[in-house]
Chain A
Amino acid sequence: MIRVNDVHKSYTKDTETIKGVSFEIGKGTIFGLLGPNGAGKTTLMQIIATLMKPTSGTVEIGGMSPEKDLLKIHRLIGFLTTEIKLDPVSTPNDLFDFFADLYDIPKEEIKQRKEKAFERFGITPFAKRRISELSTGMKQKISIAISLLHEPPIIIFDEPTNGLDILTSRQVTDYLKELRSEGRCILLSTHIFSVAEELCDEVAILVDGKIVAQGTVDELIKLSGEKNFEDAFFKIYVENHKEEK
C-alpha cells in the first residue's frame, strides 16, 4: 500500500536530510521507523504523508502518485502526530463535525461515527468541553478519533505514545493492534523500543537520513549479535553514525 523508492530530501544545497530511502509496506502490517532525534524520521513521515515533496525519488500510496492523485490519496491516509495541537477554543464535537464535513461524510453517518469513536476513547462526557480544558491524554485521543474519522486504510502515526501516560499509551497501542487486525496498513515512527517490539511487524532503523537496517525485531537482534532489541539498536547505530565535524 505504501511504496517509497529512493527518496532524497535536502533543505539546503550542502546538506541532505534523507539519503535514498526505499521500502514497501503491505496491508495489515505495522511498519516502524526507529531512529534517534534528528535522524530524519519526521521529514520522511511528512514526505510519505504528502505534506512535503521529496527532492528526488518517488512515493506511491495505494498505487497512486501524489503528483497526480493527491486528493484521492488524502482520502486513503490518516495522519496522526503528537505534535498536532487542536484549536484550544473548539470542542471535540465541533472539530469532529468540521473534519467530517471536509471528508464529505454524509450527515446521518457523521453522528454514528462520532458516537462510535467517542465511546471507544471515552470522549463522550467531554464532547462539549473546550479542548483547552482537557488533559493531554484526552487531547491525543480526540486527535486520533478525528484523524481516523474517514476510516482510512493507511495510517501514518508519528511518535504515537510520545508524552502520554501509561494508561493512554496502552489504549493507543491496543487500538493500533485492532486497526492492524482490520487489515489497515500502519506506518509509525518511534524512538521507544518497547513500542517497536510490541507493535511492529517490521522495523527500519534510520540513522543520519539512511535506513541502515531493516527486518523484524528478532531478525535485527540476530543480525547484531546482541541479546535484546535496545542493545541491537545501539550497536547498529554506533556502527553507522558518523559524527559531524
Chain B
Amino acid sequence: MPGPDGPPHDLPRLIEVLNRHEVQYLIVGGAAAYAYGAERPTEDADCVVLRQRANLARLAGALRELHARLRVGRMTDAEARALPVQIDATLLDLAGMSTWMTDAGPFDVLAGLEAADGRLVPYEELAERAVAIRGDGLVIKVAGLDDIIVAKERAGRLKDRDALPELHALRDRRRTSG
C-alpha cells in the first residue's frame, strides 16, 4: 500500500505563508508539545484555526499558494495531486479535520481540541490559554500545555498514550518550579 510521501517539513515556509495570509491559527499536538520541551518525535504540524468564513477563505488562499493536496491513505502524493480538489472556504468548512501535503510538507487542520467532557474546544477558547514562540520577528501561537494533554488523553491512540508520561512530567515540573 503506498504511503503518504511528499516534501519534508519546511515549517519556516509554512508559517511564513500562513502569517502573510493573516490566517488565525494556533499550533497543537506533538509540534506544540515539542515547544514545551517534549523529546518524543512528532509526525505532523497540526493546527486549529478560527472557523469563521473569512478566516477559512484566508487559509484556503495559503493552502493554494502551497499547492496543497489532500493526503489520502491509499494514494501516493503524485496521485493525490491529480484529484480535482478546489480549495476554498466551503470545502474547508465541510471537512471536520483535513490532512494535507503541501510544498512545505505535511499540514493538518483541526476543528478544535477535545476537552475532558468530550466537547470540542474551538480556536477562540484555546487562544485564551495559548502562549507564543518568538524569534526573528515571528510570533507563533501554541496551544496551552494543559489543553494539549487533555486532547491526547481523550484521543486514546497508542501514540498519544505513549506521549502522556513525558507531558505530565513537563507540566508537573513547571508547577513545582512555579
Q: Do the two chains bind?
A: no
